[in-house]
Amino acid sequence: MTDWEEVLERAAAWSEAGLGVAVATVASTWGSAPRPAGSHLAVNDRGEFVGSVSGGCIEAAVVGEALSAMRDGKARRLRYGVSDERAWELGLACGGTVEVHLEPGARRELYAELRRDLEARRPVVMATNLETGAARLVHPFEAAGTDPLAEAARDAAARDQTGTVPTADGEVLLRAYNPPVRVFVVGAVHVAQPLSQMVKLAGHDVLVVDPRRSFATGDRFPGVALSQEYPDEAFERVGLDRRSAVVALTHDPKIDEPALAAALRSEAFYLGALGSRKTQAARRERLARQGFSPSQLDRIHGPVGLPIGAVTPGEIATAILAEMVACLRPAKRKDG
């Protein structure tokens, strides 16, 4: 369960138990703010809270404002500056500013709808008018072009970010909720062992796929979801979408190439394949004969992983995961 899921579910549970509730959301940040935009904190009328909107420096103030919001029923837009001195105490290099939207009530029906959409792997953006408090869900990749928030919501979901946009009815907070990233590791080889664990530690879902029964075993991959299907069969059963990554590691064209072909026909955000440049060139030629264009084949990262000189299975897995994250979050990368 993600941090935001725990916060919203606890808020709904408190509300169902008859407690007053308020939910705070980080709307924007500047400088070295401890928590990113989109972070949630929920408070009940007993002063109990879950989640965070900072590294601990403004939680008490937000809880106090939440209790006031429960009493008067009014939303609040709060702004806090974190001093350089306090920032050092929190382990930051410099100060920052945090803007928080605080809304009384748990919005149980909206959260229930949000949960249903994400269980169906439908990206969702919650649009909240910061002046009126009105909120609705936008399905960014399904929204009609006539929806004034459609383009901004698509951008928020694609970047996996939270932000505010001006509209004719006032400023609107767009909070993106995406389904979990699902990583398909094709080939239960040595590199796949540390990679599957690293993917889990990064907070993503992982499925190791290998039809060779002696490879895909629980002893070799404790606590990891396994499939002994051929990868294209597994993809068809589970489904590839824009929150999917495929990493082909077997070095066996009979396994890797059907997996890559299926992934190329999908919206998967990352495709990687182990192998030397010579191996990659031969693979591209075979896939080109299947009708894939050069631009389609350019989606395959091969040799897989960032060029960091990785040698051991653990280092290679680190390079692969780092490259995957760079493709997932290009807007967060910085030059220099």
What pLDDT, on the 0 to 100 scale, is given for residue 171? 92
Per-chain mean pLDDT for the chain: 90
pLDDT digits (tens, 9 = 90+) for 94-117: 556 889 999 999 898 999 999 999
Q: Which of 100, 30, 88 is nearest to 62 (CA)?
A: 100
DSSP codes of every residue in 264-332:
HTS--SEEEE-S-HHHHHHHHHHHHTTT--HHHHTTEESS-S-SS---SHHHHHHHHHHHHHHHH-GGG
Alpha-carbon distance values, 270 to 226, 243, 248, 287 (Å): 20, 9, 11, 17
Give the Cα separation of 186 and 202 in Å (integer): 19
Give the Cα separation of 313 and 318 in Å (integer): 9
Is the distance from CB of 63 to CB of 42 less than 8 angstroms? no
pTM of the model: 0.84
Give the Cα separation of 117 and 310 in Å (integer): 39
First to last CA, the chain: 35
Give the Cα separation of 171 and 129 in Å (integer): 6
Asked if omega into 303 is within 30° of 0 (cis), the reply is yes
pLDDT digits (tens, 9 = 90+) for 153-206: 999 998 888 999 999 888 999 999 999 999 999 999 999 999 999 999 999 999
Structure tokens, 324 = 């995957």
Q: Which of 89-93, 128-132, 149-153, 193-197 has maximum average pLDDT?
A: 193-197
Q: Kindly give the pairing relationship between strand 244-248 and strand 182-186.
A: parallel
> Does 336 have pLDDT greater than 50?
no
pLDDT digits (tens, 9 = 90+) for 212-221: 999 999 999 9
Helix, strand or coil, per DSSP, at residue 221: coil
- The HSE-up count of residue 124 (CA atoms within 13 Å, CB side) is 21
The conformation of residue 179, written as its DSSP 8-state character, comes to: P
Element (H, E) at 113: helix 108-119
Structure tokens, 23 = 């939910």
pLDDT digits (tens, 9 = 90+) for 293-316: 999 999 999 999 999 999 999 999
